Amino acid sequence: MRWRWIGLAGLAAGIGLWLWLRVPSAPEREQDRTPAEAAVETHAATPLAEGAAAQLVRTDALVPQAPAVEASDPSPTTTERPNLALRAPLAFLVVDTRGDPIAGAEISLTGTRTPRARGSHFGWRIEEQLGRTDGAGRLVLMYPKWTTLDDDTGWVTYRVAHPRYVTHEADARVAAGEERVVLQLGSVLVVSGWVGKPEAVVTDVRVHLPWNVDIQREDWLPRRDGRLTTTRVPPGRHVLRIEHESAEHGRRWSAPVEFEMSANSELELHLELVAPLRFRGRFGDEVPRPVLEGRIAIAVHRRAANGQAGLFLRRDAAVAADGSFEIGELPPGDAQYVAMCRGWTTPQVETLVGAGTEHEYRAHALPTVELGDPQREFVVTLEPAAKLELALQRPDGTPLAEATVHCWPNACWTVGLCQTYFESRDWRAVSDAQGRVVIEDLPAGGLNFGVEHGEFQLPLEPPGDPAGDRYRRVELSSGQVARMELKSEPLKP
């Protein structure tokens, strides 16, 4: 699934919580990939074998935290009785930029969205729907008419792949008739590295690309000289890095490089491979020793100048009781960190995120560091954590006990991504007999939270709006306690 890749930190967490409270998502199925069917012209064309060193690695691809939620009809689009067994046909027409049909394009259906929640996404739950277009560029596949027992299907997400064209992923509105897909001819990209001097060519590399460049492992083919090449790069500005590991050189990374491709063009990138960097240091003296439950993470990223998706690699580590830490094996690039321990968190400053793009906004972002000197030790300054205290009530004003409060404190990186501070840390608590909830060790700034109970829920905001949210937002200050009193309403069947 693909989302718009930049958004406000609060909106990201709010949408995540909205989906958790309202739209249970089925697990997504990994899609099998079809190997490239055509060789790169004039060069050897043996697809890479499983386990070969030359392969695409997507573990550091930047993935946005929240979708763009469009206005939707809150009511189902059909008056039929819900039936999860019902199927319906979805027709496709695949053409090139001149409008000529493309035969042999592989189309797979990957998920569904409901008309009430355009930003939702449900993994594919019925039998696999996969096929190839005929000589007229057409194919009909089946989709489930109902996504859940509450919502019919409004959109179907799909993927179209062809060896000569850029892979296309999008949504098809099921009520709009035949889905017309226009594929673009890909450009040729050749990639290699070097260690010590440019003449010492290294072809055994892994290629790291952002999420919006859908190039799979089998899309990279070795030329006769061993250099990797692909014909699947779409026109536009992109960012890339390569990685190499061997007994001779150890692990090596290239610096991220930005490049631009035009339609049906060719570009060769020959990049220097350097030793990995490290982030080493200690917490500042303001943090009492021993440091309890200390954790630190660093993110190395790079984004294309036009604001498109970029590279993102995050590494986490525990902090010792004396406040020391070390994170190694880092590639070159822009770096920021986030840290916390019991009672202390990273101070954040208001920063312009996505500057110069249509998506720019101001958010509380994390401190930056300049990696490079392997002997340098960083001193990480922390500030006292905030605390949230809630008084939860039933509709009649009596205390609501045994309600679970979930919080999602966000770490926002200037590359345009917001994430939960630490996945290993759980910010939740259960209300006591007096309906009281206390959650500690929260960073200053905006915080979204939700309440879960077997009989009661928070009212919608705005009140009465079927598309409203049941989460709440609070502004926290360093070392301070934020208090709120919230009244619930009965769960609706």
What is the full DSSP assignment across 311-362?
Answer: EEEEEEEE--TTSEEEEEEE-SSEEEEEEEETTEE---EEEEESTTSTT-EE
Tell whether the model's pLDDT for residue 493 goes beyond 70. Answer: no
Least trusted range by pLDDT, from 49-53, 142-146, 425-429: 49-53
Tell whether the model's pLDDT for residue 118 goes beyond 90. Answer: no
At 373, is the secondary structure helix, strand, or coil?
coil
Contact yes or no for 173/202 (Cβ under 8 A): no
CA distance 22 to 27: 16
The average pLDDT across 209-225 equals 86
Least trusted range by pLDDT, from 138-152, 195-209, 305-319, 441-455: 305-319
SS3 breakdown of the chain: % helix, strand, coil, rounded to 5?
5, 45, 50
The average pLDDT across 239-268 equals 94
Least trusted range by pLDDT, from 52-56, 104-108, 341-345, 430-434: 52-56
Radius of gyration (C-alpha) of the chain in whole angstroms: 25
Q: What tokens appear for 277 in the block?
A: 């960097």
Tell whether the model's pLDDT for residue 4 goes beyond 50. Answer: no
Tell whether the model's pLDDT for residue 167 goes beyond 50. Answer: yes
Which tops the pLDDT comparison, 47 or 199?
199
pLDDT band at residue 358 under the 50/70/90 scheme: low
The predicted-structure confidence for 364-405, as pLDDT tens digits, reads as follows: 678 999 998 888 999 999 999 999 999 999 999 999 999 999
Which tops the pLDDT comparison, 57 or 391?
391
Res 361: pLDDT: 62
The pTM of the whole model exceeds 0.75 = no
pLDDT band at residue 61 under the 50/70/90 scheme: very low
CA distance 182 to 167: 10
Tell whether the model's pLDDT for residue 40 goes beyond 90. Answer: no
Contact yes or no for 450/387 (Cβ under 8 A): no
Please, what are the domains in the chain? 9-30+67-182 (2.60.40.1120), 187-272 (2.60.40), 276-493 (2.60.40.10)
